[in-house]
Chains A and B, each alone.
Chain A
Amino acid sequence: MPSLALLAQSLASGIFIGALYGLLGLGLSLAWGLLGQINLAHFALALLGAYLTYQLGTAGLDPLATLAIVLPAFFVFGAALHWLFARFAVSAFNSLLVTFGLTVIIEAAIQWIWSADFRRLESHYADIRYRVGTLYIPLPELLTLALAVALSLALWAALRYTDFGKALRASAEDASMAQAFGVNAKALALLLSGISAALAGVAGLCIALSYTLAPSQIYAWVGVVFAVVMLGGLGSALGPLIAGIVIGVSEALTMAFTAPSWAPLVSFSLLIALLLLRPEKI
């Protein structure tokens, strides 16, 4: 039985890793649920964002300031990707295959530019940690949580209350009907796809601040984040964050009570149970 302090620490780290799952899942879930686009390249994009942050940060730019470059670039990339899918009428399943191809290309590009060696961003943020009682909370992880919460809430509110959000949800349900009512579904889809890719850029910043980078890292979170997206409900803005934290905490507790290598069992058993028992909820 682990001590109370250890338990609290693992709870906290579960919340933080869960926030990263949620942040990675957010763009994925919106593009999947609202655009029918299963974007495996989201992970490659996030890691590419992390490498760009690393490169610009190493060149002396403040990591947060790199977003000013990464976000617009990724937005354009995401919009272009959706334009391609719309142009060729790519089905949801084929979008998974196309973006797998894209993932392989991005992975090769990363390896080409930065090699397969580990890279680590040295920034003053990484050294700052707060002490709360017996807990140590590093600033980068706190930043991840804050960004995940803020972006999830903002997108949730945008989808629920703004005309943009209502039009998006309407065209996700029935695109031709929404268009008959004057919704410019094509422009909205490009916009959302761009936002989704930009969200991968934000996740990339968080990864660069907290993790050591290697090209193979692209595949590290694929399984668990897909589980988070399904558990959170496709197209939901708050779902991935909540599901991410649930899975993050349950993984952290599994690690504390058994061995770290047992952690994946929890998330994937949850996913299997959900798929078998409540498939209509997805």
Chain B
Amino acid sequence: MRTLGALVAAGVALAGVPLLELPAFYESFFYLVFFWTVLATSWNILSGYSGYFSFGHGAFFGTGMYTTATLTMKAGMPFLWTLPVCAGIAALFGVAIGAVVFRAGRLRGELFALLTLAVSYVLATVILNTPIDGGPGVSLAAVAIPRLAATPPSTFYLLALAAAIVTLAVAYQVQYSPLGRGLFAIHDDEDVAEVLGVPTYRYKLAALAISCALAGVAGGIHALFVSYVTVGETFSIVVPLSVVLMSVLGGTRHWLGPAIGAALITALLYAFTASDYAVAGRAAVGLILIVVILFMPQGVLGQLLRWTARPQPKPGSGLEFTHRHAAIQDLTPLLSATGVSKAFAGVQALAGVDLVVRRGEILGLVGPNGSGKSTLINVVSGHYRADSGRVVFAGSEIERLSAHRIARLGIARTYQIPRPFAHLSVLENVTLPAMFGHAALARAEAEREAMRWLEYTGLAPKALVLPGELNLHQRKFLELARALAARPQLLLLDEVLSGLTPSEIDGAITLVRDIRAQGASIVFVEHVMRAVMQLADRIVVLSYGRVIAEGSPAEVMGRPAVVEAYLGKAHA
């Protein structure tokens, strides 16, 4: 709230600048700073936060420019009225593209960048060849400039200032809202974010819509500012490249980063244009870009934030499990899978698996490598969709639900090879599932819950470091803490013990027992047989995608079929 207040105060103070009656030159310089701030910051809300780098920002900005040009010149609409329309049309256009692109596989990185670039070329061609432009460009010279201030430059200054303040406020709000948390998680590992309960598809669409709407408004204002709109200038590749450049220069992981980059670059270009060295100015910008990316890949602001001191971890409130009921083992099914099959390019990973997990039990899921254990976990948690079969969890059918909805219902999982969000602190890693998983807590409470689980797993001293600083044992426990913070009813543990030393395994076994004692049911995929025998109430043996045995650990592991699946046939 304090930050938003400061933003508004800065806006009000800057709104007084026209009263100083400076030469118009200053106002147009600041206009450009604000204009690029809006464009770069709006780009960053999707691309910086979620890592979906778009090169199509020119298209959304251009949508705004041509919306205003068309509505004012052809429909006679007053200029200010066109701005909300610009936001709406640009957002609609973005959502339409996102609805297709975000569904089509995993188009990330360079491919997403190229796709968005291609979209802007297509849009440019269509506008150029239809009456929207038709070739010569559209002149807005006849459009009345609203009299918000004494002179037109002052009016443009105020308009762009208002747009910049609103954009920064939105970027700030998004960064610290659940949406922002989700977007940062998507940036690091989209699959894991989805499994922990982040509605990734909806969040990406929302971020794109916000980003496009703001760019559309910037376009609308800029159309009147330049007063002559052409396809060549509007859709030039220089626009998206500059926006990316400013954001990366300032820092893409902070709401204020792009604004700093925009101010730096605009000032630099302006300083050189004012003198006789415009060409040298552009070369300097190029050189600065290279140096920043090589030496400060986090951007100017990212680097500054790294230098400032880290906050101390809040002391946790100690272990309390009052919200958890005592262990119950009432033997009613919590999860039941019937006839679940899944094939990958000809390999039948699961061939009609039937499986029941009872409330309060620890079910050991064992079988040789490639028997389908991990696939089963991936199907139950919603990462893969089963080819056929039913999965019922706590009374609801889940085999068609997306992973984040399954997480909400109360299933959490760990990964055999830990997959922490690399750019989020250990605490933030654990806070995320507490917000988005079954627990669905508000942020402050989620953070307390996360701290609790960090203490429980012995990671509390590491709460504020990045996961890269943890060793394997700690990363495994981070996986566990992340799954537990969601307060799941069913916990799927995928080889949490592999790679740990014998004494670490003993510690983990105690931990798993504790977890069950607090009321969660556990499916436990493991190769460490000692642990399976000690922990499991029941075990299920998979081989070639089928259940070949089921029963108490000691009895099942002695069966000839099970021995054969592990060791091969005995030739006596």
Q: A: which residues have CB within 8 A of B?
A: 38, 84, 88, 90, 92-94, 96-98, 100-105, 107-109, 111-112, 219, 222-223, 226-227, 230, 259, 261-265, 268-269, 271-272, 275-277, 279-280, 282
| Additional 13 contacts, C-beta under 8 A, given A101-B288, A112-B280, A222-B237 | A84-B294, A93-B110, A94-B297, A97-B289, A98-B293, A101-B285, A102-B290, A223-B118, A264-B122, A268-B118, A272-B119, A275-B111, A275-B115
Q: Smallest Cβ distance from B490 to chain A, in angstroms?
A: 33
Q: Are A104 and B237 in contact (CB under 8 A)?
A: no
Q: Which residues of B contact A227 (CB under 8 A)?
A: 114, 118
Q: Are B101 and A276 in contact (CB under 8 A)?
A: yes
With known contacts A108-B286, A230-B114, A271-B114, A279–B105 Cβ distance under 8 A: yes
In chain B, what residue has the closest Cβ to A97?
Answer: B293
Q: Are A259 and B129 in contact (CB under 8 A)?
A: yes
Q: Are B107 and A279 in contact (CB under 8 A)?
A: yes
In chain A, what residue has the closest Cβ to B135?
Answer: A261
Q: Provide the main secondary structure of the chain B interface.
A: helix
With known contacts A105-B283, A107-B282, A276-B101, A88–B294 Cβ distance under 8 A: yes
Q: How far is the CA of A108 from the CA of B283 in the complex (A)?
A: 6
Interface code B221-265, partner A: CB below 8 Å = 1, 0 otherwise? 000000000000000111001001100100000000000000000
Q: B: which residues have CB within 8 A of A?
A: 53, 100-101, 104-107, 109-111, 113-115, 117-119, 121-122, 124-126, 128-129, 135, 236-238, 241, 244-245, 248, 279-280, 282-283, 285-290, 293-294, 297
Q: Smallest Cβ distance from B20 to chain A, in angstroms?
A: 35
**13 A-B pairs (CB sep. < 8 Å):** A97-B293, A98-B294, A101-B286, A108-B283, A109-B283, A223-B117, A223-B118, A223-B121, A261-B125, A261-B129, A262-B125, A268-B121, A269-B122
Q: How far is the CA of A230 from the CA of B289 in the complex (A)?
A: 26
Q: Are B245 and A97 in contact (CB under 8 A)?
A: yes
In chain A, what residue has the closest Cβ to B128?
Answer: A261
Q: Are B114 and A262 in contact (CB under 8 A)?
A: no
Q: Are A272 and B248 in contact (CB under 8 A)?
A: no
Q: Provide the main secondary structure of the chain A interface.
A: helix
Q: Are A108 and B105 in contact (CB under 8 A)?
A: no
Q: Which residues of B contact A108 (CB under 8 A)?
A: 279-280, 282-283, 286
Q: Are A275 and B289 in contact (CB under 8 A)?
A: no
Q: Are B114 and A112 in contact (CB under 8 A)?
A: no
Q: Are B135 and A100 in contact (CB under 8 A)?
A: no
Q: Are A262 and B129 in contact (CB under 8 A)?
A: yes
Contact residue among A88, A98, A265 (Cβ-Cβ distance under 8 Å from B289): A98
Contact residue among A93, A103, A271, A280 (Cβ-Cβ distance under 8 Å from B286): A103
Q: Are A271 and B135 in contact (CB under 8 A)?
A: no
Q: How far is the CA of A257 from the CA of B119 in the complex (A)?
A: 23
With known contacts A100-B241, A226-B117, A265–B283 Cβ distance under 8 A: no
Q: Smallest Cβ distance from B264 to chain A, in angstroms?
A: 14
Q: Are B287 and A105 in contact (CB under 8 A)?
A: yes
Q: Which residues of B contact A111 (CB under 8 A)?
A: 279
Q: Which residues of B contact A279 (CB under 8 A)?
A: 104-107, 111
Q: Smallest Cβ distance from A95 to chain B, in angstroms?
A: 9
Q: Are B107 and A101 in contact (CB under 8 A)?
A: no
Contact residue among A88, A219, A259, A271 (Cβ-Cβ distance under 8 Å from B238): A219
With most chain B CB atoms within 10 A of its CB, the pick from A104, A111, A269, A276 is A104
Q: Which residues of A contact B283 (CB under 8 A)?
A: 104-105, 108-109, 112
Q: Are A264 and B115 in contact (CB under 8 A)?
A: no
Q: Which residues of A contact B105 (CB under 8 A)?
A: 279-280
Q: Smallest Cβ distance from A98 to chain B, in angstroms?
A: 5
Q: Smallest Cβ distance from B140 to chain A, in angstroms?
A: 22
Q: How far is the CA of A86 from the CA of B541 in the complex (A)?
A: 48
Q: How far is the CA of A269 from the CA of B126 in the complex (A)?
A: 12
With known contacts A93-B109, A97-B293, A98-B290, A276–B245 Cβ distance under 8 A: no
Q: How far is the CA of A123 from the CA of B493 in the complex (A)?
A: 73
With known contacts A38-B110, A97-B289, A259-B129, A272–B122 Cβ distance under 8 A: yes
Q: Are A264 and B125 in contact (CB under 8 A)?
A: yes
Contact residue among B118, B282, B290 (Cβ-Cβ distance under 8 Å from A271): B118
